[in-house]
Amino acid sequence: MSQQKLKVGLVQQSCVADHEVNIQKSIAGIRDCAAKGAKLVVLQELHTGLYFCQAEEVEKFDWAESIPGPSTDRFGQLAKELGIVIVTSLFEKRAPGIYHNTAVVLESDGSIAGIYRKMHIPDDPAYYEKFYFTPGDLGFEPINTSVGRLGVLVCWDQWYPEGARLMAMAGADLLIYPTAIGYETTDTNDEQDRQRNAWIISQRGHAVANGLPVVSVNRVGFEEDWTKVTKGIQFWGNSFVAGPQGEFLFEGSREQEENTVVEIDLKRSEDVRRIWPFFRDRRIDAYQDLVKRYRI
């Protein structure tokens, strides 16, 4: 790790059908965060387009791109120009019939530091991701960068403590979750609150259990279901940063786009792990059944 305190930029944006408009918005957000001192900027899940998984349509596979490819070239050039590390999230075409939901980390020299392919793939009303995405095959490996070892996961991964734990066990300095999650608009207000709070609690729990900061960047705004099967998704924003005891360092708007820079004290992870030595006290001799689907 090259530094103890790290300024992290979060770009929370809404998206439209025009990919170039979305890309320009992401670029503007990155530039804004860099101007505020960010050395690492995190973008939301699938930030170059609409959340197309609301319905199953084979034509949407045409939105995928290769890695390396046009977006990694473009954001890599920006990373080099600004001298920062950027976490993007792209729809990857790996081969005919094999597509992934892939986070790409771009180093400050413009090179690809590494990629992470989303491991947990949901299949729920308005989130038909299994139709589009092959589950990741790269495991839970932090990506080495000039600002630290980044434990990058994606959206649905954030509900699984196993992924966060494995990233922490492999030496991640912080956990990062590009995200696209919102309300199905027919949900009651109480149900919406329960869903959003569960999402926050789960990730703050990963911070506490692993003694690591968590950076979660979600999209915002309404996106209609063009098939009219549902009434669309209201993405709830609420991007946030939590410290290694789960404390909020930043909590974003639920309705507005925003570019925010948050300073994270990476040394606090070691301080917290000394007083809460969860890794020391893990009963690794008794966890074999965790590799089973269910015990009975």
Q: Would you say 89 and 64 are in contact if contact means Cβ atoms under 8 Å apart?
A: no
**Active-site hit among 7, 118, 129, 184:** 118
The DSSP H or E segment spanning 233 is strand 233-236
Per the residue annotation, which of 45, 129, 184, 223 is the catalytic one? 45
Instruction: Say if CB 272 and CB 219 are below 8 A apart.
Output: no
20 carries an active-site annotation = no
Torsion of CA 64, 70, 76, 82, to 10 degrees: -110
> Does 162 qualify as catalytic in the annotation?
no
What is the residue whose two structure tokens read 């932090």? 142
Question: Active-site residue among 53, 107, 155, 223?
Answer: 155
Residue 4 to residue 147: CA distance in whole angstroms: 9
State how beta strands 148-152 and 174-179 pair. Answer: parallel
By the 8 A CB rule, do 239 and 199 touch?
no
For the record, the structure tokens of 202 come out as 């789960």
Give dist(CA 108, CA 110) in Å, integer.
5
CA-based radius of gyration for the chain: 18
Distance CA 125, CA 34 (A): 37
- Residue pair 82/30 in contact (Cβ under 8 Å)? The answer is yes
Query: What is the rounded distance in angstroms from the CA atom of residue 269 to the CA atom of residue 251?
Result: 20
Which pair of structure tokens corresponds to residue 124? 């729920």
155 is catalytic: yes
Peptide bond into 68 cis (omega under 30): yes
Catalytic residues: 45, 118, 155
